[in-house]
Chain A
Amino acid sequence: MITFLLALIAWAVIPFDEGMVLSDINVGVLYLFAISSLGVYGIIVSGWASNSRYPFLGALRSAAQMVSYEVSIGFVIITVLLCVGSLNLSDVVKAQEGGGILGWYFLPHFPMFIIFFVSILAETNRHPFDLPESEAELVAGYQTEYSSMAFALFFLGEYMNMILMSGICAILFLGGWLPPVDIAPFNMVPGIIWFALKVALLLFVFIWVRATLPRYRYDQLMRLGWKVFLPLSLFWVVATAGFLVAFDMVP
């Protein structure tokens, strides 16, 4: 229930098109980050409330995993915000305007784009990081003891979270509602369709990865999060800041 609700309320600040957003708050990115970090509570509380071993183990794994990967997500978001100079999501998209696909942030920040995508895989408990519900070890993890509507809410929440995270990724790196080439047949298509296409593309990669890769071991997961992604994204934050200051491009 919490998982589902949180995934829904985050949509309030996602801009689908220019001006097509429910509430255009100034701290939109932080709001999204806060909401996505709350998503773990649904899992922890459900695992604890089941009062049974497998769900509890799943909940603990989920808590550790989310806290670890949130750190690198935070740094990646900071990198993008350094280039934008605003926390407003519409401003983030507008900063990528001009030059079509070459102006989007996934090109200059390509390593960050990959790190962000892998981190959102971990954040939404998808393969290959679905250790909280890994059916080979923990039956079904935190949702073992749930059935019917409660189970449905978990799954709706998980898929909602996937779509939401793909939306965030599309806004931060793939230029939100902007068309890839700003010439006649492309810029006549409404922005919401471009946005939907980008989200669909990212969702396709979600499913693709799920079908392709085997599950990580838990210590490998922690190593990847803390020893690989965190130093790399921290370095990239410093490098981006240095680059912007050195070439006098600070927005």
Chain B
Amino acid sequence: MIIASLAFYLFAAITVASAFMVIASKNPVHSVLFLILAFFNSAALFVLLGAEFLAMILVVVYVGAVAVLFLFVVMMLDINFSELRQGFLQYLPIGALIGLILMVELILVVGGWTLSPEALELSAAPVAEMSDKTNTEQLGGLLYTKYVYLFQAAGMILLVAMIGAIVLTHRQRPGVKKQVIAEQVYRRPEDAMQVRKVEPGQGV
């Protein structure tokens, strides 16, 4: 048990430290790399909880796809840091306000636990019966039976967000040459070629 708790503190400490470095480091690429480190350590925390399916999905989705795209965009961007620093004080009150609201909410939740012990039991109660089923089966059973409407709603929201982003960024530019393979395949020699009789010394 002591090894598990030691591992927990190690991973949790690295997660928090790298999450801090995400916002503190000067180079945005380093920020993304620290973000990846944070993802990895949270995946390790999931493994410690016994939720290996979630851990693997976290690595596949966030580290494998999302962070790659982040890195992609951040490397391409040319960010001027002195300009960013100038806006820092301007946005400080809003940031502080959001932080404060989050802290109050956390205090309310934890305070609720200490005030009424039933709430703590309720939140700790397992939603699915812990049988010998694997992690994946339990999760799937829960998601597709009990929470299927919420699951579908989340899917719809993501779809709408995706379509919205595409509509906002898509633009038709005139004069762009695109390869249409069907056109190439269906092109006949009669459309493309002409046979001319060229007299000597005159040209076409």
B-binding residues in A (CB < 8 A)? 25-27, 30-31, 33-34, 37-38, 40-41, 44-45, 48, 56, 59-60, 63-64, 66-67, 70, 74, 86-87, 219-220
Q: State the main secondary structure of chain B at its contact with A.
A: helix
> Chain B: which residue is nearest A66 at the CB level?
B68
Q: A27-B136, A30-B56 are in contact. Are A38 and B64 (CB under 8 A)?
A: yes
Q: State the main secondary structure of chain A at its contact with B.
A: helix
Given pairs A27-B52, A40-B64, 16 additional interface contacts (CB within 8 A): A30-B60, A33-B64, A34-B56, A37-B59, A37-B60, A37-B65, A38-B63, A40-B68, A41-B36, A48-B29, A48-B71, A56-B75, A63-B68, A63-B69, A63-B72, A87-B136
Docked pose: A33 CA to B53 CA in angstroms: 12
User: Is the CB–CB distance between A26 and B52 below 8 Å?
Assistant: yes
Q: Is B134 close to A, CB under 8 A? A: yes
Docked pose: A87 CA to B140 CA in angstroms: 13
10 sample A-B contacts, Cβ–Cβ < 8 Å, listed by A number: A26-B134, A34-B63, A37-B64, A37-B65, A44-B72, A60-B76, A63-B72, A67-B68, A70-B64, A70-B65
Chain A residues within 8 Å of B52, by CB? 25-27
Q: Is B120 close to A, CB under 8 A? A: no
Q: Is B135 close to A, CB under 8 A? A: yes
Chain A residues within 8 Å of B71, by CB? 44, 48, 63
User: Is the CB–CB distance between A37 and B63 below 8 Å?
Assistant: yes
Lowest 8 A-B CB distances belong to which pairs?
A: A37-B64, A30-B56, A34-B59, A34-B60, A63-B72, A26-B134, A27-B56, A27-B52
User: Is the CB–CB distance between A64 and B57 below 8 Å?
Assistant: no
User: Is the CB–CB distance between B69 and A67 below 8 Å?
Assistant: yes
Instruction: With both chains docked as a complex, state the minimum distance between the C-beta of B57 and any C-beta of chain A, in angstroms.
Output: 7
Count of CB-CB pairs between chains A and B under 8 Å: 67
Chain B residues within 8 Å of A219, by CB? 179
User: Is the CB–CB distance between A60 and B75 below 8 Å?
Assistant: yes
Determine the interface band of chain B, counting residues with CB < 8 A from chain A. 20 to 34
> Chain A: which residue is nearest B66 at the CB level?
A67
Chain B residues within 8 Å of A48, by CB? 29, 71, 75
> Chain A: which residue is nearest B71 at the CB level?
A44
Instruction: With both chains docked as a complex, state the minimum distance between the C-beta of B202 and any C-beta of chain A, in angstroms.
Output: 40
Chain B residues within 8 Å of A56, by CB? 75
> Chain B: which residue is nearest A39 at the CB level?
B64
User: Is the CB–CB distance between B53 and A27 below 8 Å?
Assistant: yes
Chain B residues within 8 Å of A30, by CB? 53, 56-57, 60
User: Is the CB–CB distance between B63 and A67 below 8 Å?
Assistant: no
Chain B residues within 8 Å of A67, by CB? 65, 68-69
Instruction: With both chains docked as a complex, state the minimum distance between the C-beta of A96 and any C-beta of chain B, in angstroms.
Output: 20
Chain B residues within 8 Å of A64, by CB? 72
Docked pose: A38 CA to B64 CA in angstroms: 6
Chain A residues within 8 Å of B76, by CB? 60
Instruction: With both chains docked as a complex, state the minimum distance between the C-beta of A88 and any C-beta of chain B, in angstroms.
Output: 8
Instruction: With both chains docked as a complex, state the minimum distance between the C-beta of A15 and any C-beta of chain B, in angstroms.
Output: 17
Docked pose: A59 CA to B68 CA in angstroms: 11
- Which residues of B63-110 are within 8 A (CB) of A? 63-65, 68-69, 71-72, 75-76
User: Is the CB–CB distance between B136 and A26 below 8 Å?
Assistant: yes
Docked pose: A25 CA to B59 CA in angstroms: 16
> Chain A: which residue is nearest B40 at the CB level?
A38
> Chain A: which residue is nearest B72 at the CB level?
A63
